[in-house]
Structure 1
Amino acid sequence: MAGLHMIRSYLSESEDSDTQDESKINRDEVPSSGKNLLQRFSVPESILSFKGTKHDEDVHDDPSQHDGRTRTFKHERGNWATLVYINYAGSNPIHSWLRKLPQQIAIKEDLKFYTEFHLSLTRCLVLKFHWIKSFVESLQKLCQSTGEIVVEFRDLKVYCNEERTRTFLGIRCEGRNKLLEQFVVNIDKILAEYQLPSFYEEASFHISILWCLGDVTEKLNAWLPTLNESLNSIYAEHFLHSFEVSKINCKIGNKMYTFPLKQRYT
C-alpha cells in the first residue's frame, strides 16, 4: 500500500505542476515499462472517490447556488479545502440580540445572518491528499498537549475578505492569558512543515455573525457605536464575557475531525 500511495502522490503532484488531466495523457508517449506500471498499479475506486466527488468529474463554481459567494481558489482534484476552528454554540441572550439586529442596521444591502458560529484558527487552506493523515495526527497531538482555552469577548468589528467580495460583522475575541494566541502559533508551526500559509500576521480573532456581498465596510462601520452599545449591555446584564473551549474542530473536504483538549485537573 505504501508503494501505491507514492505512485498516486507522484501523479497528483505532476497534475499540479503541469495542470494536465490524466485522461489527456498521450499513452503512446509513455514508455512500455511505464504503461505496464500504470496498468499494474491502477488506483482503486474507493481511494479515487474518497473526497466525496467523483474523481473524473469537473467541479464548476455556481455563485447562484451559494448566495452569490465565489471560491477563493480553484477546485482541483487531490486538493482538499481545510479549516481549523472552534465551534461557538452561543447563548439565549446572544441569539435574542441577533434576531433584533436586522431592525438596527439600516443599509440597502442584503444582510445574511449566520445560524451557526465559529472562530477560525487558520486561513482556508489547501491540503494535498497524501498530507491529510500526517496533518491530522500532528493536530491531534498538539490538542492533547494543550489545556482548555478561555475565549473572552470584546467589541464588534467589520471585516472584509482579501478579494473585497464579501463583508462581515464579527464579535472580536481574545484568549485569556494569551493561550489562544499561543495555540495558533503552534498550529502555524505545523503548517510550515507543509509550506502552507500561517494565520494572519496581525490576527484579529472573531466570530462572524452576519455577512453581505461586496465591500460595505464604511457603511457597517457607521453603525458600530450603536451596535456595540447594545451588545455591551447584553454582556453586562447576563455576565456573558467569555466561554471555555474544550475541543478543536478541523474540516477537511467533506470530512470532520474533533480533537479534545487536555482536561484541566483539580
Structure 2
Amino acid sequence: MWPERNRGPATSTLPPLPASFHDLYASTVRTTTRDDPSLHQGRTRQIPHVPGNWPTHIYIEWHPPPAVHELLTELVSSLQSQASSALAGDTNTTITNFLQSDLGAPQPLHISLSRPIVLSSDDRATFLREVEAAIRASGIAAFGLACCRAEWHRTAESARSFLVLRLTEMLRRCNDVVAKYGQSRLYEWAEGDGQDEEEGRWVGEAFHVSIAWSFVEPTEELVRVTEQVFGSCSAKKRMRELRIPVEGVKVKIGNVITHVVLPQRGSRANEKGAKNLLGL
C-alpha cells in the first residue's frame, strides 16, 4: 500500500477536449424509426422518418460554463415550482429543462440558423459545401452574444411552448442556401428591413436559446410567473452579465456534424471589414 501524501486542491493537467469531440456524441441513439412519443416525454417527430431523406439543421452550439449552468438551472427550477402552484388547475403543466440529461449531465444549448429541414441523399454533399462557402465568404469573425430577456415562444409545428432567452440579430446567408434547395426559410419576416410590419416584430426578437419546454400554452398567469422569476433584481443583474461566445457554425445532416470555424477578429483573413453573423 502506498504511503499517504499531503496534497493541495486537486487540479487537472490534462488539456481540454477539442470542440470536435462533442460532435461525436451529439445525437441520441434511436432504437426504432417508428414515432413513439412514450420514449420522448410525449414529443412527436416534426419530420417523419423516410428512407433516403436526411434531417438537417444549421445552428450555433453553446456549452454554458458551470456558473451560468447553475444560474439557469436555479431559475428554471424556481419557475417549475412557482408555475406548478400557480397553474395547479391546468393539465400537463410540466416544465422540462434543456440544461441537463435525464441522468443529470449538463447538455449544450443551441441557436437555430435554419428550420429542421430535409435533404435527399443526392443533395447532402453539395448543400454542405455551399453552406460552408457562404459562411466563409461572408467576412464573419468570431463574436459574442448577450441575452436580453426570458419569455415563452409557442410553435405550431411541435405544439410545444419553449422558454427562451432572446438574443440580438442573424440570418440571410444560411437562408439563401436553404431556399435554393426548396426548403422553408427561417424567420423570413426578419429579412428585408429587419421588421415585420404586420406583427411589429424586429429581427432581434427572432433569435433565441431554448432552455426549457412545456406542452402548456403560455397563458397570462404563466407569463406573469416567468417574468416574476426572471425579472427579479438579482436574476436581471446576473442575466445582463451572461455572454455567449460564437466561434463557429454547425451543420448537422443525419447524425454527421460539420463545424465551420469562424476566423478570430484581427486575423489576416478577416482584416477587411469584419461583420457580425447576427447582423443583416
Q: Please give the TM-score of this superposition, normalised by the length of structure 1.
A: 0.69
More helix by percentage: 1
Partner deviation per Cα, 1:29-54 (whole Å, 9 max, x = no partner): xxxxxxxxxxxxxxxxxxxxxxxx9x
Answer yes or no: is the 8 Å Cα contact 2:61–2:111 preserved in 1: yes
Q: Which ranges of structure 2 fall in alignment gaps of 5 or more residues? A: 1-28, 85-92, 100-107, 191-202, 268-280
Q: Which residue of 1 aligns with 2:142?
A: 148
Answer yes or no: is the 8 Å Cα contact 2:47–2:55 preserved in 1: no
Shift of 1:130: 0.8
Partner deviation per Cα, 1:106-164 (whole Å, 9 max, x = no partner): 23322111122111111111111111101110111123233223322110120111146
Paired amino acid for 1:154: C
Partner deviation per Cα, 1:156-211 (whole Å, 9 max, x = no partner): 12011114621110100014xxxxx2xx1011111121111111224510001111
Q: Which residue of 1 aligns with 2:83?
A: 107
- Measure, in 2, the Cα distance between the counterparts of 1:110 and 1:188: 34
Q: Which residue of 1 aligns with 2:237?
A: 233
Q: Which ranges of structure 1 fall in alignment gaps of 5 or more residues? A: 1-52, 176-180
Q: Which residue of 2 aligns with 1:167?
A: 161
Q: Which of these two proteins has the greater Rg computed from alpha carbons?
A: 1
Show the 5 A alignment for 1:76-115: 76-100=50-74, 101-105=76-80, 106-108=82-84, 109-115=93-99
Q: Indicate how the Cα distance of structure 1 residues 93 and 247 shifts in structure 2: closer, same or farther if over 3 A, else same.
A: same
Answer yes or no: is the 8 Å Cα contact 1:156–1:169 preserved in 2: yes
1:138 equivalenced with 2:153 (yes/no)? no
Identity across matched positions, percent: 25
- Measure, in 2, the Cα distance between the counterparts of 1:262 and 1:99: 32
1:67 equivalenced with 2:41 (yes/no)? yes
Shift of 1:243: 2.6
1:195 equivalenced with 2:171 (yes/no)? no
Answer yes or no: is the 8 Å Cα contact 1:85–1:250 preserved in 2: yes
Answer yes or no: is the 8 Å Cα contact 2:248–2:259 preserved in 1: yes
Size of the aligned set, in residue pairs, is 201
Q: Indicate how the Cα distance of structure 1 residues 259 and 217 shifts in structure 2: closer, same or farther if over 3 A, else same.
A: farther
Shift of 1:217: 4.5
Runs of 4+ in structure 1 deviating by more than 4 angstroms, as ranges, are: none
Q: Which residue of 2 aligns with 1:41?
A: none
1:118 equivalenced with 2:110 (yes/no)? yes
More contact order relative to length (CA 8 Å, sep ≥ 6): 2
Paired amino acid for 2:55: A
Answer yes or no: is the 8 Å Cα contact 2:46–2:158 preserved in 1: no
Answer yes or no: is the 8 Å Cα contact 1:170–1:210 preserved in 2: yes
Answer yes or no: is the 8 Å Cα contact 1:111–1:210 preserved in 2: yes
Answer yes or no: is the 8 Å Cα contact 2:148–2:239 preserved in 1: no
Shift of 1:219: 4.1
